[in-house]
Amino acid sequence: MVLMVLTLIISAVPYIYDWAVPPQQNVPEEIEALKKLMLLEAQRQRNNSYHKDWHPAVREHRKSFPKPELFNFDPNTASGADWQRLGLSEKQAAVMLRYTANGGRFRKKEDLQKMYVISPDNYARFEPYIQIDKASLRLNKTAKVEAAGNSYPAKSKAIIVALNSADTLELQQVKGIGPAFARRIVKYRERLGGFYTPEQLKEVFGMDSLKYLEIKDQLSLDSRQLHPIFINRTGFEELRANPYLSYKQINAILQYRKQHGNYGNIADLKKVAILPAATVEKLAPYISFEHD
């Protein structure tokens, strides 16, 4: 009986020990390692889930993409092949080349962040490898102008384009204006009713002072080609397209005319309370006070 009791007690000792003594907690190093493993596993699962959503043709196409390669490069002289080796797509590389071909320059590393095709992640990867040669920056300006002249003889000639009547193709003959800028200029011109001063080009999205100085001498302007705003008979829809007027200001102009009758001159227009004097001055060349 004694032996049986002792045997039972000895058999129960491991269970009693596990119950009485809690398992030892992981040391800090083990906890940190476990966290990293959990994060890696979560990332792997997200990636697998994302890739499963791709169409098989897309997955097969992406397999053909070359693996990005990092190397020292000068963004002012990099070729399309260089940008693609770095990981940009063919279209993104073309955007970078157009920028430099049209006179754009990267004078410091941070300038690359202004390009919409360079994502923050890509810039972070490129930044240690960007090497801008200041001496070649000055030389390349002349070299690229000559190269552009050889490739695009039409643009190398000193031509004058009529700003208020040129279509997008004619505007692209101006050195410094590409297809995107040409479309923006025409669209803004339509909203305005024509340009009465070349400086209105600075109001076109993306047009800075340097770009304006580059193109202004290649443009002619005939302010007689403006489309007038017949202020005493125009309605809300006609005024809505004008870039100088907000909805509230348009309503105020129409309400004032309704309450006080037709406008006789610019002084009457200045009586509209929410119209700033600067806005009235911008509108003045377009306003016609002709009555029905």
Supply the pLDDT for residue 225. 82
Whether the pLDDT of residue 135 is over 70: the answer is no
**123 found inside a domain:** yes
- Who wins on pLDDT, 66 or 256? 256
**Confidence band, pLDDT 50/70/90 cuts, at residue 190:** very high
The encoded tokens of residue 165 equal: 């009547």
Q: What pLDDT score does 207 carry?
A: 87
Q: Give residue-wise pLDDT tens across range 44-93.
A: 665 554 444 444 544 554 455 567 888 898 988 888 888 888 988 888 88
16 or 226: whose pLDDT is higher? 226
- Indicate if 221 and 252 belong to the same structural domain: no
Q: Kindly state whether residue 71 falls inside one of the protein's structural domains.
A: no
Looking at per-residue pLDDT, the higher value among 251 and 64 belongs to 251
The amino acid that residue 223 corresponds to is S
> Which residue, of 151, 176, 210, is where some domain finishes?
151
pLDDT of residue 51: 46
- 237: domain CATH number is 1.10.150.280
Reported as a pLDDT band with limits 50, 70 and 90, residue 144 is: very low
Is 34 inside any structural domain? Answer: no
Q: Is residue 139 part of a domain?
A: yes
Among 32-36, 107-111, 257-261, 275-279, which stretch is predicted with the lowest mean pLDDT?
Answer: 32-36
Q: Is residue 50 part of a domain?
A: no
Mark whether 281 and 251 lie in a shared domain.
yes
Q: Are 221 and 233 in a shared domain?
A: no
User: Is the torsion defined by CA of 133, 135, 137, 143 positive or negative?
Assistant: negative
Same domain for 182 and 121:
no
Please state the rounded mean pLDDT for residues 164-189. 91
**What CATH number is given to the structural domain containing 217?**
1.10.150.310
Question: Is residue 39 assigned to a domain?
Answer: no
Tell which residue, 135, 123, 137, has the closest CA to residue 70.
Answer: 123
Domain boundary among 151, 177, 195: 151
Alpha-carbon gap, residue 152 to 127, rounded angstroms: 33
- 243 and 282 together in one domain: yes
Total domains, the chain: 3
Please indicate, yes or no, if residue 22 is contained in any of the structural domains. no
The Cα–Cα gap between 288 and 234 comes to: 10
Give the mean pLDDT of 254-270. Answer: 91
Q: Of 225, 256, 275, at which residue does a domain stop?
A: 225
- pLDDT at residue number 281: 92
The predicted pLDDT at position 136 comes to: 52
**In the predicted model, what is the mean pLDDT of the chain?**
80
Q: Judge whether residue 260 has pLDDT over 80.
A: yes
Decide if pLDDT at 147 tops 60. no
Q: What are phi and psi of 145, to 5 degrees?
A: -65, -45
**If you average pLDDT over residues 144-157, what whole number do you get?**
46
Residue-level length of the chain: 292
Q: 265 lies in which domain range? A: 229-288
